[in-house]
Amino acid sequence: MCESSTVPGTSASSRPTLCLFATLGGILAAAILVYYAKDLHGRLPFLKDDADYIIGRDFFNTWLYGRAAVLPDPGRFYDHAVYVAWFSKLVPENVLDHIWSYPPQFFLMATPFGQLPYLAALLIWTLIGLLALYAAVRGSALRTFAILVSPAVLFCAIFGQISMLVAACSLGALRLLDRRPWLAGALIACITVKPQAGLLFPVLLLATRRWRVLIAATLCTAILVALTTAIWGIGIWTDYFHLGIPAQIADMRTAAVRLMAISPTILTGALTIGANMDWALPIQFLFTALAIVFVATGCGGGPLDARRIALFLACSAFASPYLLVHDLTALTAAVVLLAGPSLTGIGRWLAVALYLAPVIQPPLASLHVPGVALVPVAFALWAIWPQWRMSPLLASGEKEITPPQAAAAHKAESRRC
């Protein structure tokens, strides 16, 4: 997906940090997988974990999208009560309450998996996610290994989450913005199946005046919508807006508390310290506005190098009111890709905290400590500070580096790494 010039290798200066990431990730992955596997029980194909949830608990929802896609009027399942009654009869073993949160274009992706046996579909889904992420981040063996065994990726695999595919599209799009704008736009359009993951892409494209990417993303999204409508009819969209979105809003208000142990958002952080929802939501929206400012002011002035990509993804993390630990996959990959001469001091330790965030969040949430939610904010401040520091110099008349000069410097730095 990305040329080698955009994916750094392993230099002497980056090796200690990469070794730290790889060691932490490898040990945690082995321990968590052993702990998870030892308590699997039940009958095939719907094995259960120690919480009595079907393995690949989130993929179960994807699989049901695919099953429903070939039934008459699948949009009716955006009605939560209708959906629960259907899947409870279809798979009595399931005890986890689900809602349909993905927009209708997700049917295009889910339909093939719903036609396969559950375990085969889950295995193929997981392998595709891992391969897509590998294609987006491949570089030196140590760097790639550190990403693929990271806690965020591990939770994606255990839960059967779509976040590996979303991360691959996000990272691919960010690296291809200038070299292949139409492909970058197509990848951004694919992220619309999980809208909160692409919340800041319009801000980035408008602020940096990447018009071709914006046009491509808009056109490809329109194609996805048109294709979905042609197959399932306009009714599936009315069901989504009249039934699905209200159900999501109602679920989000309870999920922030129910999923507190795996939700590292500002909204959840505010709730953990005792704020009620009427206060927590405005606090979240203030941080969303801050993320927009950071992206608009910190991601321009040249190509998106590794630092700007990490800045953008950190802002995307704290801008969203609904985010779970596996949704940190793209940000995790970005901080590992940033490891090198520029990742030193406090930035290095903030990167380590982000890498470990999925395993730090549960114990801190149980102690009502909102610290994980603030780590992306602190990392974004660290990432944007050099640009803010340079602004007075540029204003005083110092010659500004042009985008071609910045691109050439970035290419030379990548070769050295």
1 found inside a domain: no
User: Predicted confidence band at 393 (pLDDT cuts at 50, 70, 90)?
Assistant: very low
396 found inside a domain: no
Give the pLDDT confidence of 234-276 residue by residue, as tens digits: 999 999 999 988 888 777 767 666 778 888 999 988 888 888 8
Q: Which domain holds residue 378?
A: 7-391+401-416
Q: What Rg, from alpha-carbon coordinates, does the chain have?
A: 21
DSSP state of 50: T
pLDDT of residue 11: 59
Distance CA 54, CA 46 (A): 6
Residue 311 predicted with pLDDT over 60 = yes
Which amino acid belongs to residue 203? V
386 found inside a domain: yes
Rounded alpha-carbon distances, angstroms, from residue 237 to 33, 78, 194, 241, 364: 39, 10, 16, 6, 39
240 found inside a domain: yes
pLDDT of residue 417: 39
302 found inside a domain: yes
pLDDT of residue 189: 97
Residue 80 predicted with pLDDT over 50 = yes
pLDDT of residue 153: 97
Residue 333 predicted with pLDDT over 60 = yes
Judge contact between 62 and 162, C-beta under 8 A: yes
Task: Evaluate the omega torsion of the peptide bond into residue 45 and state whether it is cis, within 30 degrees of 0.
Answer: yes
- Say how many C-beta atoms besides its own lie within 10 A of residue 137's C-beta: 25
2 found inside a domain: no
pLDDT of residue 286: 96
| Percent of the chain with pLDDT strictly greater than 70 | 88
133 found inside a domain: yes
Of the candidates 155, 375, 364, 379, the residue with the CA atom closest to the CA atom of residue 260: 364
pLDDT of residue 358: 94
What's the number of domains the chain is made of? Answer: 1
Backbone angles phi, psi at 54, to 5 degrees: -65, 140
Q: Which two tokens stand for residue 198?
A: 């692409």
Averaged pLDDT for residues 9-38: 87
Distance CA 121, CA 109 (A): 12
pLDDT of residue 400: 39
Residue 401 predicted with pLDDT over 70 = no
161 found inside a domain: yes
- 143 CA to centre of own chain: 19
Distance CA 163, CA 384 (A): 26
Give the pLDDT confidence of 352-380 residue by residue, as tens digits: 999 999 999 988 888 878 778 899 999 99
